């Protein structure tokens, strides 16, 4: 039987590690014109809770309850689990689907970092490797 996720797996360049951190997301730009755009006056009004499930140098897998679309750009914020430093990232929704395990959130999404350079990303990936040393498949 062919692997239906093989095209996605082939695109993934970085190992993923388990990381469970609760934070917030705020839409910066919406792909859909019917939804709020990146109007600075609207920022902060659509903030919602997220939970990260895993991380790689390329991005996060997050669970959440709010409506977003592929292509939307979010500002993600939370505290580093070890240092308690406040971290902020911008990421773009690459894919989204309904979550069968709704206790984590109604939706799952793959979020790609818009800027993959930075000590915060390396610090979080390092923390995830230390606490969950076996990469996810």
pLDDT single digits (tens) 76-101:
999 999 999 999 999 999 999 987 77
Whether 133 is in a domain gets the answer: no
- What average pLDDT does the segment 124-130 reach? 93
Specify the higher pLDDT residue, 42 or 53.
Answer: 53
Picking from 36-45, 67-76, 90-99, 122-131, which range would have the lowest pLDDT averaged per residue?
A: 36-45
What integer pLDDT is reported at residue 116 of this predicted model? 74
HSE-up (13 A, CA, CB side) for residue 4 = 0
Taking a C-beta distance cutoff of 8 angstroms, is the pair 119, 95 a contact? no
What integer pLDDT is reported at residue 134 of this predicted model? 86
Specify the higher pLDDT residue, 57 or 117.
Answer: 57
Whether 90 is in a domain gets the answer: yes
CATH of the domain at 63: 2.40.10.220
Q: What value, to the nearest 5°, has the Cα angle with vertex 69 and ends 67 and 74?
A: 85
Whether 2 is in a domain gets the answer: no
Q: Does the structure show a pLDDT above 80 at 45?
A: no
Whether 58 is in a domain gets the answer: yes
């Amino acid at each position: 039987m062919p692997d239906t996720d093989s095209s996605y797996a082939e695109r993934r360049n970085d190992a993923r590690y388990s990381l469970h951190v609760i934070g917030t997301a705020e839409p910066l730009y919406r792909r859909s014109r019917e939804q709020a755009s990146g109007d600075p006056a609207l920022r902060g009004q659509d903030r919602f809770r997220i939970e990260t499930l895993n991380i790689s140098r390329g991005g996060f897998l997050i669970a959440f309850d709010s409506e977003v679309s592929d292509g939307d750009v979010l500002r993600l914020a939370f505290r580093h689990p070890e240092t308690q430093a406040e971290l902020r990232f911008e990421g773009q929704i690459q894919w989204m689907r309904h979550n069968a395990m709704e206790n984590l959130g109604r939706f799952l999404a793959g979020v790609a970092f818009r800027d993959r350079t930075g000590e915060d990303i390396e610090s979080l990936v390092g923390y995830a490797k230390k606490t969950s040393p076996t990469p996810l498949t």
